[in-house]
Amino acid sequence: MPATATATTTRRRPLVFAAAVATATALGATVLATAPSASAASVPLTGYELSWGIKESYRTYVTGPWTKGTFTVTDGASQADGNGVFTFTDGRGTYDSTKHTLRLSFKGTLTAESSVHGFKRTFSDFQYDSATGVLTADLTADDGEIRQDVPLATVEAPTGQDMSDLATTLTTEAGAFLGSASYAGAAGDPLSVVKKETTTSPSPSAEEPEPSAPEPTSLPTSPTASASPSAPETGSTIPAPSTSAFPSAKPTASAAPSTSTAPAPAKGDIADGRLTWGVKESFRGYVVGPVAKGKVTTSDGASQADGNGVFTFTDATGTHDTEAGTLSAAFKGSVNFKGHQGEGDGGGYGLDLTLGNVRAAFDGGSGKLTADVTSLGERPRNVVLADLKAGSTELTATNDVITLNDVKATLTEAGAKAFGGFYDKGAALDPVNLSVALAEDAELPSGNGTSDGGSGTGGSGGAGSTTGGTGGTGGIGSTTGGIGGSMASTGSDVPVGALGAAAAATVAAGAGVLFAMRRRRDTQA
């Protein structure tokens, strides 16, 4: 964030003017009239759009049943249906043909507001600079003061012609403005910058210089060594930044292959396997956050990745039929979530949920995720928690291993009941990754970033703790000072229904009764 308004104004000047000023400083003001190369390096850009959702769990928190807030978009901004991502329009800026970078400013204002929690946060004047890889915006908090050009997120460099779905990481300033330090360093929603297609080509504005080259619509591959450093060739598109600093994450050909001498039969028993699933990122963050102040524990062969991450269940058994496209596997391991402990060292927990005996079954690419559930003494078995949807309808074995990654998981009606009704049927859960070996000597792939070991604890959140899950969602705790001042402590987009007036009164009484099944007991009492 710039220290003064003067610095901000300077940073917003078009790169054409900035280049001319730099030339004048070096050679004298009289050189300005004879330095065409300074402006030739900049190509004016217009008609771009930026789409970014900030972070899905933040949007859910704002509009959730406890916060009861709203998002309002004006001045050219819009929001996708279903509390979706935001789009900012009329992106204008410049492309530097010598450095192969672009800088764009977008129209649109976004306001997040909750009368219940008494906050109002306004975002405007979004700017994206590919040279620095930073997304900034002007921010207005409850005090009404406008803070200009605040860095909200770092953005990964484009790799080729596509500037869509660029990974983002929220900054410390973003965490303070959104109301929780747990957001600092967390993964934000992906960001996309696209050229909006138009059916006609309007004449250039009298206030804009004529472009020195055709306006590009995307970022293509890097230029060759013989390309002109001063301006792109006529008809060419903008070269993308070099990707040499971003090594490929794909495994090399030297990876050890399976030692099987013959492929496993198309139909038979599963020899081994593992399933990796985070349940729901925001739920993990809520449990260990400043509201529930709880802990996450794995046992019986399950493990949890560092940083309150995803869970891995092991030692798969079951059957497969690759020709029919069916698979049924059961995995060892349990995970327990505890939170809202009552007063005193021996106080019970208002939230005590265990998932075990996790099973996944697929038929033609669709499937079910099932588990045994224990919650505050009740033990329903074989609960279908989620509907699964794989990327392919076929099951293909490679080196006698079937691998399904990024399987979409959506909450079922039975799953919603298992979570106490705090999530609606159809809510998106964390994706599922699984690998099963069809032969005893088949080698499973690495464990998707999970930690080794048969048991572990995700940690507990003491007073004021904002320990988050993978991506750092965490409970949205209160923060004071810095940008945005303070914001009411909440639980992100997790069990917020449990934090209503009745539950708050219960907590004040020391009972800590915030989970649905416990609430039902109170009603019966």
- Supply the pLDDT for residue 193: 93
Taking 90 as the threshold, does the pLDDT of residue 296 lie above it? yes
pTM listed for this prediction: 0.44
- Supply the pLDDT for residue 197: 67
Q: DSSP states of 130-142 as a string?
A: TTTTEEEEEEE-T
- Supply the pLDDT for residue 224: 35
Contact assessment for residue 115 and residue 122, using Cβ atoms and an 8 Å cutoff: no
Q: How confident is the model at residue 263 (pLDDT cuts 50, 70, 90)?
A: low
pLDDT tens digits, 184-194: 899 999 999 99
- Quick one: what percent of the chain has pLDDT higher than 90? 46
Q: How confident is the model at residue 265 (pLDDT cuts 50, 70, 90)?
A: confident
- Supply the pLDDT for residue 182: 81
Q: What angle do CA 339, 60, 463 make, to 5 degrees?
A: 30
- Supply the pLDDT for residue 264: 67
- Supply the pLDDT for residue 158: 83
- Supply the pLDDT for residue 345: 65
Which comes out higher in pLDDT, residue 183 or 200? 183
| Bridge pairing between strands 303-304 and 349-363 | unpaired
Instruction: Please give the average per-residue pLDDT across 314-340, as a whole number.
Output: 95
- Supply the pLDDT for residue 333: 96
Query: Would you put residue 165 in left (φ > 0), alpha (ψ -120 to 50) or beta?
Result: left
Q: How confident is the model at residue 420 (pLDDT cuts 50, 70, 90)?
A: confident
Taking 90 as the threshold, does the pLDDT of residue 161 lie above it? no
Contact assessment for residue 344 and residue 328, using Cβ atoms and an 8 Å cutoff: no
pLDDT tens digits, 298-311: 999 999 999 999 99
Which comes out higher in pLDDT, residue 29 or 128? 128
Q: What are the residue ranges of helices labelled H in 119-253?
A: 172-178
Instruction: Please give the average per-residue pLDDT across 497-509, as a whole number.
Output: 32
Which comes out higher in pLDDT, residue 495 or 73? 73
- Supply the pLDDT for residue 422: 74
Taking 60 as the threshold, does the pLDDT of residue 289 lie above it? yes
- Supply the pLDDT for residue 51: 96
Taking 70 as the threshold, does the pLDDT of residue 460 lie above it? no
Average pLDDT, the chain: 73
- Supply the pLDDT for residue 512: 33
- Quick one: what percent of the chain has pLDDT higher than 70? 63
Taking 60 as the threshold, does the pLDDT of residue 469 lie above it? no
User: In this structure, which amino acid lies at residue 76?
Assistant: G
Taking 70 as the threshold, does the pLDDT of residue 506 lie above it? no
Taking 60 as the threshold, does the pLDDT of residue 113 lie above it? yes
**Cβ atoms within 10 Å, residue 401:** 22
pLDDT tens digits, 116-132: 888 899 999 999 998 99
Could you tell me the sign of the dihedral formed by the alpha carbons of 486, 489, 493, 499, in that order? negative
HEC sequence for 68-118: CCEEEEECCCEECCCCCCEEEEEEEEEEECCCCEEEEEEECEEEEEECCCC
Q: What are the residue ranges of helices labelled H in 271-393?
A: 281-288
